Amino acid sequence: MIMKIREIVEKLDLKVRCGADHLDREVTGGFAGDMLSNVIAQSKSGNVWLTMQVHVNIVAVAVLKELAAIILVQGKEPAEDTLKKALEEKVTIIVSDLPAFETAGKLYGLGIGNG
């Protein structure tokens, strides 16, 4: 199932920290992980990425892999330099107060798989 980032934000009551202008991007699946090399190897274009990493390198990975958005879990907030770089690169960063497992479960419940 393909959804827009906006729908996910609304249905899961997430907080947009960066990239509010890009909420109409389509989400084709999801990926959860904190090891950047694994995200590079396994995620797919159009995925939302669940992570607890907040440093600037997450933006580079999102751009490289053409990810739809980054969802920071456990209420983590992006570092200031991460937000600045995300604005420059037009990367959407969203925050979930829930742990990765619960956030992934809710995404799966919306029909977002690992496509």
Q: What is the pLDDT of residue 52?
A: 97
Q: Considering only CA atoms, which of 65, 59, 56, 48 is closest in space to residue 100?
A: 48
Q: What's the sign of the alpha-carbon dihedral 50, 72, 21, 55?
A: negative
Q: What is the pLDDT of residue 95?
A: 98
pLDDT of 110 strictly over 70: yes
Mean predicted confidence (pLDDT) in 46-63: 98
pTM: 0.96
Architecture label for domain 3-109? 3-Layer(aba) Sandwich (3.40)
50 vs 82, 101, 103, CA distance in Å? Answer: 16, 9, 8
The CA distance from 72 to 50, in Å, is 6
pLDDT of 115 strictly over 70: no
Q: What's the sign of the alpha-carbon dihedral 56, 57, 58, 60?
A: positive
Q: Considering only CA atoms, which of 12, 20, 19, 60 is closest in space to residue 36?
A: 60
Q: Where are the domains of the chain?
A: 3-109
pLDDT of 106 strictly over 90: yes
Which band of pLDDT confidence, cut at 50, 70 and 90, is reported for residue 113?
confident
The CA distance from 93 to 98, in Å, is 15
Find out whether 31 and 100 touch, Cβ atoms under 8 Å: no
Tell me the β-bridge partners of 26: 4
Q: What is the pLDDT of residue 101?
A: 97
* Residue 29 structure tokens: 């699946």
Percent of the chain with pLDDT over 90: 96
